[in-house]
């Protein structure tokens, strides 16, 4: 006996130890790769790169509210100084004049390399005369006093042209030397993190650094005691969402776990039985994560977040084992598995077939979810079958729940007597009605927008839009992306795309666009512009002709001649020259490098008053220009399309899984009637849940689909036990069967029911699907399956 026990327990302990080691050393990721197809298209790859590393993902918007304008301005300057010295941030901007002065100095010193007006014709006699006449005319404008001091060095107005080119004159309103909202009620800052937006840990540290800088700045300024901080942006939302899900999952896990343990203690009245009953669950979870780590190399957070709930079926196995074996003197000494294990095994295999359909998925998230569930369920079932009987204490005593089973049997029998044959008819009518409702609403049944999974509150999204409007940044969702093997290649590609995009601006297809080549032109373009500058003799000759009859003397423009000569012989502008200016932040936000691949981003802005951009027309214009490696990307449309394909594949694979379940049951039960009897309650439960959710205005997401798989996985055990009792006419064990199924169902409903109140879409979808679905699966299985009445049930 001891040798037999050792042969069973030793491999289990070795397996647990090995799985624990694998889990401890596994690589866990939380980026978007779980939603990226295993073989993505170029556009899908670009989409995920933008969501993960793009400029929008790294921006944190800061609003300082309440207090006086002066106090807000002081806090803004203090925060900018603190954050500017923190390596977490790539840039910090708040409208500080000192930063603007550095920008103007860089633009002025390199104006002939940066200005797109610099051509050979621009410095011809005719071009110089036209440019100088325009400058003289601008002296009468409100900016005349500023321009007058620049005329000796910049008579052609290159600096004024650059100001227009970069849009420096626009932007948010300035008050007390810092940016402020249009209504003057909040001071504004915008920071960009050095880390990618997908690095939620780094984003959390950045948000904490912002809050710490505000706290220190406000504490050092007595007048700022009433100023309030508000932050927004993708990184802020990601951190808040993770914390919200973590808090909700932890809180609900503790509550539901405590309730389930309380129920099991009340049933078992044995701490030993309770502890042993949790072994299948723990083993299943451990082996599930280990299997994913070995099979995929990494474990996605989405797998842990969704998959941990799928182990809820595992606790049922031990309930069936402990309760249904009570009719024997000692379950470990009895071959309980001869009569009970085949049903549990078939229920487990039914669940495995359902989740096995996810393994071929082209999306790692679904494939990992399938492997996690399969491994966990098999491990839990095997522990229940082989390990639990060997670990039972010799004198284990548990509460006899036969009276509970008899009470349930009487209630069931009474319902069936009153309903009679109408039960089956009602089931058919209910199924037909459900199919009719779902068919009528098929177009709106599924929510194919990725935002359906977002836990971000509508109020937070509105405030984010307010800050963006105040800053004039907008929420850019449309990008032209130019790829290349080097920085120089993508800058040249961006310059070629610029010509096409300017035509679209003139046609009012788009309102404006940004380009990294505006901040740092390609080396080739800088060399062409430098070559367009005339040498000193030619410049003096052209200038002499241009100044004829103008109220400006050649001698006054000696600084201009010297600056042109310096630009002709000076070095080209490099990326390092942008450091310390806001131009560096603008350039870095529009350039991405992924391994040896570079991308230049050209965000598109809509025409004033227009909410959308005709992306198809932009794409057609770029295609007509034959621009290599240049694509237009609508972030929202592509994200929704990717999620829709994810959902479509999940639905298709789930249907394939259901077909596998039908084949398995048909082959095992060898009876079309019994197969239909097992499947009918499950199908009816799924249909009813889908209809109720639809009628309540809930559009189904991929999480609801996972919940439906769980209904089938959990409910199949109920249906199979009822079918087994009916087929074998086991009156002696019917009461214990009913009691075990009721207790297992109660545990499931408690565990998942609380999720419906989590206020987190991911968890709510699982809770509102599985809890009622599992309950309905039990009720329908009990009513639609004719079984023998246990002794005493009719008393």
From the number of C-beta atoms within 10 Å of its C-beta (0-12, 13-18, 19+), residue 266 rates as exposed
> Is residue 781 domain-shared with residue 750, that is, in the same domain?
yes
Q: pLDDT tens digits, residue range 271-294?
A: 888 888 888 888 988 999 899 999
Instruction: State yes or no: pLDDT of 795 exceeds 50.
Output: no
Give the ranges where 670-760 is alpha helix by DSSP (H): 672-695, 702-728, 734-753
> Cα–Cα–Cα angle for 535, 540, 544, nearest 5°?
150
Say if 615 falls within a structural domain: no
Quote the domain boundaries for residue 320: 1-30+274-332+349-394
Contact (Cβ atoms closer than 8 angstroms) between residue 671 and residue 470: no
428 lies in the same domain as 318: no
Asked whether the beta carbons of 501 and 513 are under 8 A apart, the reply is: yes
For residue 395 the two structure tokens come to 């004198």
Pair 676, 697 in one domain: yes
Find the range with the poorest average confidence among 208-222, 405-419, 596-610, 697-711: 596-610
Q: Are residues 386 and 424 in the same domain?
A: no
Q: pLDDT tens across 718-745, in order?
A: 888 888 776 665 555 677 788 888 888 8
The pLDDT of residue 12 is: 92
- pLDDT for residue 453: 65
Residues 354 and 438 in one domain: no
Model pLDDT, residue 579:
77
Counting the structural domains of the chain, the total is 2
- Asked if the structure places residue 525 within a domain, the reply is no
Pair (389, 407) in one structural domain? no
Helix (H) or strand (E) holding 632: strand 630-634
The answer to whether residues 683 and 795 belong to one domain is yes
Query: Are 370 and 437 contained in the same domain?
Result: no
Separation of alpha carbons 397 and 404, rounded Å: 17
| Highest-scoring range by mean pLDDT, 16-25, 246-255, 438-447, 620-629 | 16-25
* Stretch among 64-68, 523-527, 758-762 having the lowest mean pLDDT: 758-762
Cα 667 from chain centroid (whole Å): 41
Residue 579: exposed, middle, or buried by beta-carbon count in 10 A (0-12, 13-18, 19+)?
exposed
CA distance 227 to 443: 49
| 766 and 738 share one domain | yes
Residues 362 and 142: their CA atoms lie apart, in Å, by 62
What is the rounded distance in angstroms from the CA atom of residue 363 to the CA atom of residue 370?
11
Q: Would 82 be classed as within a structural domain?
A: no
Domain at 773, CATH number: 1.20.1640.10
With contact defined as beta carbons under 8 Å apart, do 619 and 481 qualify?
no
What pLDDT, on the 0 to 100 scale, is given for residue 728? 63
Residues 373 and 421 occupy one common structural domain: no
Q: Which residue has the higher pLDDT, 717 or 340?
A: 717
Res 367: pLDDT: 85
User: For the packed helices 364-382 and 314-324, what is the interaxial angle rounded to 10 degrees?
Assistant: 20
Q: Is residue 626 domain-resident?
A: no
What is the C-alpha to C-alpha distance for residues 235 and 113, in angstroms, rounded to an integer? 36
Sign for the CA dihedral angle at 515, 52, 460, 78 comes to negative
Scan for tokens 């795309």, then name that residue.
Answer: 497
Tell me, yes or no, whether 289 lies in a domain: yes
Check whether residue 717 and residue 789 sit in a common domain: yes
Tens-place pLDDT, residues 75-122: 888 888 888 878 888 778 777 767 777 778 888 888 888 888 888 898
Does residue 200 belong to any structural domain of this protein?
A: no
In the beta sheet, which residues pair with residue 29?
Answer: 300
Nearest to 789 by CA among 281, 412, 280, 511: 412
Strand blocks (E) in 279-380: 299-300
Token code pair at residue 288: 């599930």
586 assigned to some structural domain: no
Residue 313 sits in the same domain as residue 409:
no
Instruction: Tell me how far CA of residue 790 lies from CA of 407, 419, 540, in angstroms.
Output: 10, 20, 113
Q: Quick count: other Cβ atoms within 10 Å of Cβ 470?
A: 21
The winner for highest mean pLDDT among 689-698, 704-713, 763-772 is 689-698
What pLDDT score was predicted for residue 137?
75
Banded pLDDT at 169 (limits 50, 70, 90) = very low
- Kindly indicate the confidence band of residue 548, based on its pLDDT and cuts at 50, 70 and 90: confident
Does a structural domain hold residue 578? Answer: no
């Amino acid at each position: 006996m001891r040798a037999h026990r050792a042969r069973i327990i030793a491999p289990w302990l070795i397996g647990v130890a090995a799985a624990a080691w694998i889990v401890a050393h596994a690589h866990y990721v939380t980026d978007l790769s779980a939603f990226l197809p295993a073989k993505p298209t170029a556009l899908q790859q670009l989409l995920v790169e933008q969501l993960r590393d793009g400029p929008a993902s790294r921006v944190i918007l800061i609003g300082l509210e309440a207090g006086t304008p002066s106090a807000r301005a002081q806090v803004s300057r203090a925060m900018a100084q603190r954050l500017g010295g923190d390596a977490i941030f790539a840039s910090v901007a708040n409208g500080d004049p000192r930063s603007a002065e550095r920008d103007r100095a860089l633009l002025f010193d390199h104006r002939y390399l940066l200005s797109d007006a610099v051509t050979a014709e621009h410095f011809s006699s005719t071009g110089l005369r036209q440019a100088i006449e325009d400058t003289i005319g601008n002296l009468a404008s409100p900016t005349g006093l500023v321009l007058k001091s620049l005329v000796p060095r910049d008579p052609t107005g290159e600096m004024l042209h650059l100001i227009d080119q970069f849009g420096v004159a626009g932007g948010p309103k300035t008050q007390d030397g810092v940016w402020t909202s249009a209504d003057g009620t909040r001071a504004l800052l915008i920071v960009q993190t050095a880390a990618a937006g997908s690095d939620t840990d780094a984003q959390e540290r950045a948000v904490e650094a912002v809050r710490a800088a505000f706290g220190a700045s406000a504490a050092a300024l007595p007048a700022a005691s009433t100023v309030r901080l508000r932050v927004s942006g993708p990184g802020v939302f990601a951190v808040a969402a993770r914390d919200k899900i973590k808090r909700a999952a932890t809180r609900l896990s503790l509550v539901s776990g405590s309730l389930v343990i309380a129920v099991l203690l009340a049933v078992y009245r044995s701490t030993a039985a309770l502890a042993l009953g949790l072994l299948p669950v723990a083993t299943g979870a451990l082996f599930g994560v280990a299997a994913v780590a070995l099979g995929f190399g990494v474990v996605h957070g989405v797998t842990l977040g969704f998959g941990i709930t799928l182990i809820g079926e595992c606790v049922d196995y031990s309930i069936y084992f402990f309760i249904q074996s009570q009719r024997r003197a000692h379950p470990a000494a009895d071959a309980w598995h001869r009569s009970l294990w085949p049903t549990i095994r078939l229920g487990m295999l039914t669940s495995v077939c359902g989740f096995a359909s996810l393994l071929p998925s082209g999306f790692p998230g679904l494939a990992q979810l399938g492997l996690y569930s399969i491994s966990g369920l098999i491990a839990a079932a095997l522990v229940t079958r082989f390990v639990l009987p060997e670990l039972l204490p010799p004198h284990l005593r548990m509460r006899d729940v036969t009276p509970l089973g008899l009470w349930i049997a009487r209630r069931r029998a009474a319902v069936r007597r009153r309903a009679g044959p109408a039960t089956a008819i009602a089931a058919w009518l209910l199924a037909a009605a459900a199919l009719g409702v779902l068919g009528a609403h098929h177009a709106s049944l599924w929510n194919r927008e990725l935002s359906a999974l977002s836990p971000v509150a509508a109020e937070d999204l509105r405030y984010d839009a307010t800050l963006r409007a105040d800053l004039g940044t907008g929420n850019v969702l449309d990008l032209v992306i130019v790829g290349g093997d080097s920085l120089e290649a993508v800058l040249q590609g961006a310059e070629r795309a610029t010509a096409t995009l300017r035509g679209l601006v003139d046609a009012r297809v788009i309102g404006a666009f940004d380009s990294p080549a505006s901040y740092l032109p390609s080396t080739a373009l800088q060399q062409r512009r430098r070559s367009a500058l005339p040498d000193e003799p030619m410049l003096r000759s052209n200038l002499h002709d241009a100044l004829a009859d103008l109220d400006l003397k050649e001698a006054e423009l000696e600084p201009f001649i010297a600056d042109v000569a310096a630009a002709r012989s000076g070095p080209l502008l490099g990326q390092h020259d942008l450091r310390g200016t806001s131009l560096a932040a603008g350039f870095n936000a529009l350039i991405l490098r992924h391994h040896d691949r570079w991308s230049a981003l050209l965000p598109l802005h809509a025409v004033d008053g227009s909410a959308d951009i005709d992306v198809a027309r932009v794409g057609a214009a770029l295609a007509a220009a034959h621009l290599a490696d240049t694509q237009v990307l609508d972030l929202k449309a592509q994200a929704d399309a990717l999620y829709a394909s994810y959902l479509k594949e999940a639905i298709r694979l789930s249907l394939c899984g259901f077909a596998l379940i039908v084949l398995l049951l048909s082959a095992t039960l060898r009876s079309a009637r019994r197969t239909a009897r097992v499947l009918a309650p499950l199908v009816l439960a799924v249909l009813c849940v889908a209809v109720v959710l639809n009628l309540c205005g809930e559009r189904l997401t991929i999480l609801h689909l996972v919940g439906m798989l769980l209904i089938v996985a959990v409910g199949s055990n109920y249906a199979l036990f009822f079918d087994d009792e009916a087929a074998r006419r086991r009156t002696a064990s019917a009461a214990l069967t009913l009691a075990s199924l009721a207790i297992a169902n109660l545990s499931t409903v408690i565990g998942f029911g609380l999720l419906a109140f989590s206020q987190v879409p991911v968890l709510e979808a699982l809770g509102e699907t599985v809890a009622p679905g599992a309950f309905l699966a039990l009720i329908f299985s009990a009513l639609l399956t004719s079984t023998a009445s246990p002794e005493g049930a009719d008393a």
